[in-house]
Structure 1
């Protein structure tokens, strides 16, 4: 019942196993109050002076709410690194989408401004840079809208390839330059280098690979 109440009120699960005795008391009191069985309270094991005070409104129950800091500190380092990078990627995409300068830069490229990324080459792999699929989608939708409302002198047959191979790097490089106060040349180098990963993420990745390899090794020995 408390899980359901937490969900419908949107408060989150702010209780633990040690809270259950108090929560059971609370639900018991609600039921007695709702069904007007105050006169038969002595039949309930939890009926006490404290319970009467709660029903009469002369005593306020005390609920322990964990601090957000404590919750954050419990998050593993590799997960916190992912959260931080996702937030940084959102900040980058929001800057590109909301900055008039970024859109004008893309319009200039579509109008024939020299770009090292045009024409897109099918064999050339362009760094994605963004790990978050949600942010990739947001940026793709924005770039597609820029194409559809801008007459262009550039020719291309595959719109998706053009967006991913030309406008994606142009937009991200411009965004990195604006957010990090870099020259376009330095921003391009940052783009090519890709996002930075926390050492804990590398350790977690290696741990999972090692675990998978050992699991496959055991499966192989069993099959033999």
Structure 2
């Protein structure tokens, strides 16, 4: 994207210093991983920002959200009648803009994941739901906080030797949940006096607090010992066979377009 045009336009509207922000600067912003949902993501970003309702949607909701937008446009714009094109500006629309009414577009998970949804999409949905449950336990319920405070107050942790390492343990597949968890752990660290020595706060959070928080949460939620929960953590995200098949299919298709073979 050519940002110079937008910078010039911004200066025309209002002189002064402007700060460029990206999606990575917005906490909890749902991420787009596929290339055919750009327009719907942009619509939902805009709707959530102007109404102030928060980003309560995920990539797996895109098929349903597409249907919702189509119905909304057909109903509000009266597509079959030319003379009522702007009759959609109702009290409901004003309430949406003012933030006093939350738009309804989500469907309960049991209905959203139907027989018409591909298996690999359902697998992503199930993993995302499980990851959100894990992060909610840590962040919203503060289920791991007592354990984390113990580590910051000197409780033995095998992860402390990784503070200066470049290896960052990965368990959460969702960037959104990673951001939520990291922001929470940074708050815990900043608000807790500790005698532990480290030079890089980000490395310390990623290499010590992230594994400690997730392993403890896994042990509680899955009724595992800490050793068993650690093995689950180290195994990383569990991908369904259908997801691997879909990934291979996309790679094969791309290589075929480039005139190369897939082995």
Partner of 1:202: 244
Partner of 1:154: 196
Partner of 1:12: 68
Kindly provide the CA deviation profile for residues 15-67 of structure 1, in whole angstroms up to 9, marking residues without a partner as x.
6xxxx9xxxx9944986xx9xxxxxxxxxxxxxxxxxxxxxxxxxxxxxxxxx
Relative to structure 1, is the Cα distance of residues 114 and 74 closer, same or farther in structure 2, using a 3 angstrom cutoff? Answer: same
Partner of 2:138: 96
Match of 1:132 among 174, 177, 187: 174
CA distance in 1, matches of 2:203, 2:112: 46
Secondary structure in structure 1 of the residue aligned to 2:158: coil
Cα RMSD of the aligned pairs, angstroms, is: 3.2
* 8 Å CA contact 1:126, 1:169 repeated in 2: no
Q: Which protein has greater RCO, CA pairs closer than 8 Å, 6+ apart?
A: 1
Normalising by structure 1, report the TM-score.
0.66
Aligned residue pairs total 171
Match of 2:117 among 64, 75, 86: 75
Between Structure 1 and Structure 2, the one with more helix by share is 1
* 8 Å CA contact 1:97, 1:139 repeated in 2: yes
Partner of 1:166: 208
In structure 1, the gaps of 5 or more residues are 1-6, 35-67, 220-224
Normalising by structure 2, report the TM-score.
0.57
Q: Which has the larger radius of gyration?
A: 1
Kindly provide the CA deviation profile for residues 146-169 of structure 1, in whole angstroms up to 9, marking residues without a partner as x.
011100010111000000010000
In structure 2, the gaps of 5 or more residues are 1-43, 48-64, 88-109
CA distance in 1, matches of 2:127, 2:176: 13
* 8 Å CA contact 2:151, 2:157 repeated in 1: yes
CA distance in 2, matches of 1:213, 1:81: 25
CA distance in 2, matches of 1:134, 1:73: 27
